Structure 1
Amino acid sequence: MEDASEVRHFRTLFISDVHLGSKAAKTDFLLDFLRTHEAETIILVGDIVDGWRLKRSWYWPQPCNDVVQKLLRKARKGTRIVYIPGNHDEFLRDFPGTHFGGIEVAERMIHEMADGKRYLVLHGDEFDVVVRNARLLAYLGDWAYDTAIAINVMLAAVRRKLGMPYWSFSAWAKLQVKHAVNFIGEFQRVVAEEARRNDVDGVICGHIHHALMEDIDGIHYVNTGDWVESCTAVAEHPDGRLELISWAHKISASGAPKPVQKMVPVMIPSLDSAKKEGARAA
């Protein structure tokens, strides 16, 4: 196992489902990951901010600001950052093509790897029939998921005190439910079909919090996972090779995440001003 403190450089990083604004968001893990990983391009594949939970109850501690500031700092230093909204941060879907502090907003995109292979990048919630056709049911499912995550947080605290590595109860419970397993398989198949319709070699998505890289009928399906349960991201090497990184496992092997230095507050433009700025630029 490599030293988690070593800074690694990639062509592209793909991160999704951070759920900032949720008490389950593992901001300390993500900050440590961002500190030790650099890339020419970072693509945020949806649900970075959890607007659903923020509407129910406002929760935005300093670590959430730290994540935003860390990304803005990378953008200022020359990293291209593209934000593809998901269903939890769908309010940003009204601003395609807009820049917020150097972060681009796009509904979806085609990303060409260094080896010439083309990947469709999208969050994936449009293929979730529950979210698309039964929003009330989706919110009820979200509440049940919150309960599992709360158990996960308490269990993780106990395991830390006992010197045991991180383990996700919510991820384990989800995979014990037959319907959930069937849904994951169907989701992967439908997303792969969308990639085929777009005449690309693969697809990169998030949404279902299940990190995976596999071939599905000739399409390379890649799911970035999340930063609530598994703490995973996908990295593109300079030669176009993709790597699925599980940061929770690396942290478990090397010790607790190192504290991130306090950051200088950054002014984030409002949605209205950013939209006007984008219109003037166009």
Structure 2
Amino acid sequence: MASFLVGFLLPSLLLAAALINWSVISFVDLIAFLLVHYIAPEIGYRFQRRHWLLWPIFIFSFAVFLAQLVYLLIWAAVGQDWDTAETGWMRLLGFMILNSWRNPTVMYFLALQLLTSLVALADIYSSRFGFARWRDTWWSPFSGIFEHLGSHLRVASCLLLPAVQLAVGICNPSWVSLPFFIGSCAGLVDWSLTSNVSGLFRWWRVLYIYAGCNIVLLYLYQLPINFSDMIRWIASFIGVFRISVETEGPDICSGLFLVSFYIMVCLFAFCLGLHHR
């Protein structure tokens, strides 16, 4: 139960909440997503000390849910008299209004925040009162299925990790993606000289942290802020881009492969942890 909640469901909800709206609140969700993946191989999914991360996630997500709900009620009462400057700051923070029922993004945002808080609370409850009572419920058949699929997913991640790393390095040739390309070339050379497949995973710890920093930097550049010409020039020079309807396919693939690489390295590190136990 806990491995499914913290290992798959909670990070998926946090990532969805981070991508649904570029804002400060969603940036906090992104940081939580990165931390959940980062600490999982180190402390294990069943370790009690993960509460130091789950409790803040629960409190923050539930507080954002309530704050967004109150903001919607105030906006519905005030209507068009709402100050545009104030709404600009609110938009940067991440508070949204209901523009159309055909595309109710704010409703999806509310649902994601509520589900995130409930999943975090469920894992806290399950780890505090033990996992035995979950085994005797309707969840037990699904638990075995998800654990079986998770083991195959971790093996697939280990096999595909070198290819994903190379894709990050070549999809968007730039200074920020150069370390991934150099790491892939060094791994291939090591493999060809030593015939040891472990050479393909050389520098994975450094690239793991570097990928997380890249994700944070790329997300910060998506915030609805009017950056100066100097910042935009530096971002363009090093290879950081803004995602919009005009963004080219290689840039989108580069971002997707970057996030995939971070997740797959986490699964690879988890496999190493199981191997060394």
User: What range describes the TM-score normalised by the shorter chain of this pair?
Assistant: under 0.3
How does the TM-score come out when normalised to structure 2? 0.26
Of Structure 1 and Structure 2, which has the larger fraction of its residues in strand? 1
Of Structure 1 and Structure 2, which has the larger fraction of its residues in helix? 2
How does the TM-score come out when normalised to structure 1? 0.26
Which one has a bigger Cα radius of gyration? Answer: 2
